Chains A and B, each alone.
Chain A
Amino acid sequence: MYEIRIHSRGGQGGVTAAKLLALAAFRDGKYATACPFYGAERRGAPVVSFVRIDDKPIKIYSQIHEPDLVIVLDTSIMDVVDVLQGLKGDGTVLLNSAHPLAGCNGTCRHVDLTGIALAENLVIAGSPILNTPVLGALAKMGVVTLPSVEKAIREMFADERNVKAAEAAYEELKV
């Protein structure tokens, strides 16, 4: 089982990213669950979502305490939340950032999802859309496949710019 924890702020699309990721994994022929932790939802508050991917049915409903992968859609959260808590020794971090994570000891990836969203003019209510480009980055990392990512995005969104943004993130992420 591969366990992913997504950190974002309310309104940034972390919950939708979790759903898209589960859908893409499902289109890859895997079992997947996406469960956001719903707190007192409000825009801007730190939000955490969980995705599990496995080859067999997933029976776990509790939160992910020891993730294989941590995704941070908004690095300002790292001032208030210990995003690396419980990360497995061989775990991976993916940051939405133009710069690498300072002092990273393990496998750390970064890609400027915000820049990609702005380049595609993917903005809703003043916020860049991060949940579709992040799927492209995850495809590059081998968590899901790019065709399944594109399929999943098209199932949930009519706007092709979302697919373009995912493809741009796929190209930009260095692995």
Chain B
Amino acid sequence: MLTIATGNKAVAAAVKAAKPGVIAAYPITPQTEIVEQIAEYVTAGDLKSQYIPVESEHSAMAACIGASAGGVRTFTATSSHGLLYMHEMVHWAAGARLPIVMANVNRALGPGWNTWAEHSDAFSQRDTGWLQVFVSTVQEAYDATLMAFKIAEHEDVLLPVMVNLDGFALSHIMQSLETVEIGDFLPAYHLPHAIDTENPLVYGPMTGPADYFRFRWDIERSMRDARGVIADVEREFAERFGRSYGPTEDYRCEDADVIVIAMGTLGKEAEVAVDRLRDEGIKAGSMRLRWFRPFPDLDLARREVVVIDRDYSFGFGGVLAHAVRSKTGIAPYSVIAGLGGQEVTYNDIADFVRNRHPGEETWFGVSDHV
């Protein structure tokens, strides 16, 4: 069905189609619309899930962990401080190999109190063992959420997936949305190590120095395998529903001399900047990074690169810029822009490219820095 919807409503619609057995969530701006909409589906009988209105995000993830281990598909949604409050359980979900899907509406961290878009909340969970995908349109929010369940639950992955969408910029914008009849796209939930009361086992027990690292390696092995699973699921999705996705979305990159790498809505708006730059004779391209974990291989040989980070690792640099440098050996022009919803237009992005200094870092809007 074709309609228009917000990013939040698109996520809720995908969750409805995926039919989780349990949804446990706590509201937080700008994510609240997701769990409100899901609660309405459940109340109206349109979604036969158990909706657990927990008292905190930590409890939300704890409830998802219990339900997922108990053998049902689970979903939660959060943002910013909610995600940080959940942090201990975020690690646990991945370590326990539970294919929980969570929507995280990217929002800055206080103080100062700020409810607008930033990626620092998601990056603070970078090393937890969750797969992380960043979306840029309402349609992609829907599609990625649907695919997240299939990827997470694949027996070669069995790791949780975080679907990230920019607060307000995407969570509250209205765009066209085509919902699909998913048919048998999502197989029945099957967790090989689900709790079986007929065959009691110990879960998460003391694991000594002689064994612990094996479990850590097993997470990494699955992360590496996840690349292939993601590609397979995205290919199947394209065949069934006609929309294609990959680890990056490349726009006019083939013959580009300079490539802009960004994530989320800035990554989509960068395409408009690329068109402007091309009109001026600057051979620019845009590579919007979708999957941050597992991080894809990037082919940037012989290109100049401008990376826009909507985040920062204090005392080090832009998280994405350093990931790109580490993966490719290319020293990008690192632009820190859009923090806390800072207004960044396609004209600004075009300026970043025009005024680029590869190997240097700049903070957009800050004039008195070194």
A: residues with CB less than 8 A from B are 18-19, 22-23, 26, 31-36, 38, 58-63, 65
Contact = CB atoms under 8 A, between A and B. Distances in A.
Interface in B311-349: 343-346
B142 interface: no
B48 to A, nearest CB: 26
Given A22-B174, A33-B173, A63 B343 contact: yes
Given A59-B271, A61-B170, A38 B346 contact: no
B290 interface: no
Interface in B238-257: none
Contacts of B283: none
Contact of A59 (B4, B116, B268, B344): B268
Interface of B: 3-4, 30, 115-116, 166, 168-170, 172-176, 265-266, 268-269, 271-272, 343-346
A23 B4 CA distance: 7
A7 B14 CA distance: 33
A26 B2 CA distance: 10
Contacts, number: 57
Contacts of A26: 3-4, 176
A173 to B, nearest CB: 25
Contacts of A35: 168-169, 172-174
B141 to A, nearest CB: 13
A24 to B, nearest CB: 10
A172 B32 CA distance: 40
A33 B269 contact: no
A19 B172 contact: no
B47 to A, nearest CB: 21
Given A33-B173, A35-B172, A60 B4 contact: no
B115 A38 contact: yes
Contact of B175 (A18, A58, A63, A65): A58
B168 A38 contact: yes
B244 to A, nearest CB: 15
Contacts of B3: 26
A31 B116 CA distance: 25
Contact of A60 (B166, B168, B174, B272): B272
Given A26-B176, A32-B4, A33-B175, A60 B269 contact: yes
